[in-house]
Amino acid sequence: QVQLVQSGAEVKKPGASVKVSCKASGYTFTTYTMHWVRQAPGQRLEWMGWINTGNGNPKYSQNFQGRVTITRDTSASTAYMELSSLRSEDTALYYCAREWGGKYFDNWGQGTLVTVSS
């Protein structure tokens, strides 16, 4: 069965960077685009960007352009999301999500809590 397993919770200081991983199993990693979505406390889900796991090309939401970098390692079937210049408003649960049908998300990781605090 499809599984997306994310790395553990992180605590970071303002201005630092964080890198979250998402290891996929149960399907051919390079045949599905992987997205990153975050959920801040009390806020709606927010799309951050995707990576074409086949050719490695990323696409970012304008809201995060310049601060987010999404990469992948096909040999490890793992996608990564790095967010830089962290601020307190970046405290959130970060999810990886597999794209389905070009427009939806059919499988999600368990979420990684990133806390930004001085």
CA distance 116 to 16: 9
Q: Residue 27, interface with other proteins (CB under 8 A)?
A: no
Q: Residue 35, interface with other proteins (CB under 8 A)?
A: yes
Task: Give the residue, chosen from 12, 47, 52, 67, that forms a contact with other proteins under the rule CB under 8 A.
Answer: 47
Task: Give the residue, chosen from 23, 105, 113, 115, that forms a contact with other proteins under the rule CB under 8 A.
Answer: 105
Q: Residue 104, interface with other proteins (CB under 8 A)?
A: yes
Task: Give the residue, chosen from 40, 111, 113, 115, that forms a contact with other proteins under the rule CB under 8 A.
Answer: 111
Q: Residue 8, interface with other proteins (CB under 8 A)?
A: no
SS (H, E, C) the chain: CCEEEECCCEEECCCCCEEEEEEEECCCHHHCCEEEEEECCCCCEEEEEEECCCCCCEEECCCCCCCEEEEEEHHHCEEEEEECCCCHHHCEEEEEEEEECCCEEEEECCCEEEEECC
Total residues contacting other proteins by CB under 8 A comes to 21
According to CB under 8 A, which residues from 48 to 67 bind other proteins?
A: 59, 61
Site stretch for other proteins (CB under 8 A), options 21-29, 68-76, 79-87, 93-101: 93-101
- Contact footprint for other proteins (CB under 8 A): 35, 37, 44-47, 59, 61, 95, 97, 100-106, 108-111
